[in-house]
């Protein structure tokens, strides 16, 4: 198995690359209930992790942090500076569909202004990542609806459930039903479910989870932790934050973390691993927070 080397305090750690877990897999015949956050896994577990999955989540977190550190160095050194030219905020639009408009209505009537802005930033950051990673064909409507509804489990009426349940489940189940009511087919509605359920995974393989899940998770982690923030030019970041400011965001998000009491959910387990500390170190918060 390939590994990534981390040199910390004069000690070299060998970190397994989580992508190796996906090598030589027949995607069509694989059992998707084995992969944390998929629709099939969620039906089987309702968001609760077993011991093996907790170890996998730790590996994901290690890989995500290591990869983010290395890619950041490549950008700051100028080696990947050319990738900044791929980002064009003017080409990113909110889908003009009835389903998208209905999702906005739900979000505006349910979220606090702070959480609503987080959802919009998540969408724009996800679209930035699509440009950087050159994903030319994505389901923009699915991505937008997922971004707008992915944190319904953190609203005041649902947050108390997070003490014992995975908060992504409420949002995922609601969103699938919402999609079916708007005449989405079952497969597309399940993909929406997966994109929301999987957004807490530190690593999301687009081949298994879908490009929209990969992008939604990437956009959410960029906003929460600053992951891959360097992929967007500073003027782009400035424009997004001017339109959707992050004032009070850190206080509201960190304030909800104590509610994640179950150590068997991803949110609860990540809390034990120091998620609040990582969030407090978000470089976006240092620059645009308030």
Residue with tokens 């782009």: 236
Confidence (pLDDT) at 28: 44
Between the CA of residue 80 and those of 76, 83, 86, 236, what are the distances in Å?
8, 6, 11, 17
Using one digit for the tens of pLDDT, what is the confidence trace for 125-183?
A: 999 999 999 998 999 999 999 999 999 999 888 888 887 889 999 999 999 999 999 99
Q: Which residues contact 29 (CB under 8 A, 6 or more apart)?
A: none
- Of 17, 7, 85, 47, nearest to 269 by C-alpha is 47
Whether 246 contacts 290, CB under 8 Å: yes
Q: Given a cut of 80, is residue 14 above it in pLDDT? A: no
Average pLDDT over residues 56-64: 94
C-alpha 229/C-alpha 128 separation (Å) is 10
CA-to-CA distance for 126 and 112, rounded, in angstroms?
A: 21
pLDDT tens readout for residues 206-254: 999 999 999 999 999 999 999 999 999 999 999 999 999 998 898 888 7
Provide mean pLDDT across the span 188-198.
98
**Residues belonging to the chain:** 290
Greater pLDDT, 217 or 18: 217
SS3 at position 4:
strand
Cβ neighbours around 212 below 10 Å, total: 29
* Chain Cα centroid distance, residue 178: 20
Residue pair 30/40 in contact by the 8 Å Cβ criterion:
no
DSSP secondary-structure letter at 151?
A: T
Ranges of each domain in the chain: 3-288
């Amino acid at each position: 198995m390939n590994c990534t080397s981390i040199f910390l305090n004069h000690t070299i750690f060998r970190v397994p690359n989580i992508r190796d877990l996906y090598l030589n897999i027949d995607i069509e015949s694989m059992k998707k209930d084995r992969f944390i956050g998929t629709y099939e896994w969620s039906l089987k577990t309702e968001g609760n992790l077993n011991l093996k999955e907790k170890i996998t989540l730790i590996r994901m977190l290690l890989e995500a942090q290591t990869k983010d550190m290395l890619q950041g160095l490549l950008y700051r050194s100028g080696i990947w500076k050319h990738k900044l030219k791929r980002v064009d905020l003017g080409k990113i639009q909110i889908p003009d569909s009835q389903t998208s408009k209905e999702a906005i209505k739900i979000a505006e009537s349910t979220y606090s202004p702070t959480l609503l802005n987080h959802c919009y930033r998540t969408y724009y950051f996800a679209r930035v990542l699509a440009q950087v990673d050159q994903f030319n064909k994505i389901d923009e409507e699915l991505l937008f609806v997922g971004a707008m509804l992915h944190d319904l489990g953190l609203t005041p009426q649902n947050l108390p459930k997070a003490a014992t349940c995975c908060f992504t489940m409420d949002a995922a189940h609601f969103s699938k039903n919402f999609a079916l009511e708007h005449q989405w087919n079952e497969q597309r509605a399940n993909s929406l479910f997966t994109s929301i359920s999987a957004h807490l995974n530190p690593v999301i393989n687009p081949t298994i989870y879908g490009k929209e899940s990969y992008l939604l998770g990437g956009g959410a982690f960029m906003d929460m932790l600053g992951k891959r923030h360097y992929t967007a030019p500073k003027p782009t970041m400035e424009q997004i934050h001017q339109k959707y400011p992050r004032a009070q965001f850190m206080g509201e998000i960190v304030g909800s973390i104590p509610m994640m009491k179950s150590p068997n959910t991803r949110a609860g387990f990540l809390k034990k691993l120091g998620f609040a500390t990582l969030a407090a170190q978000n470089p976006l918060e240092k620059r645009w927070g308030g």
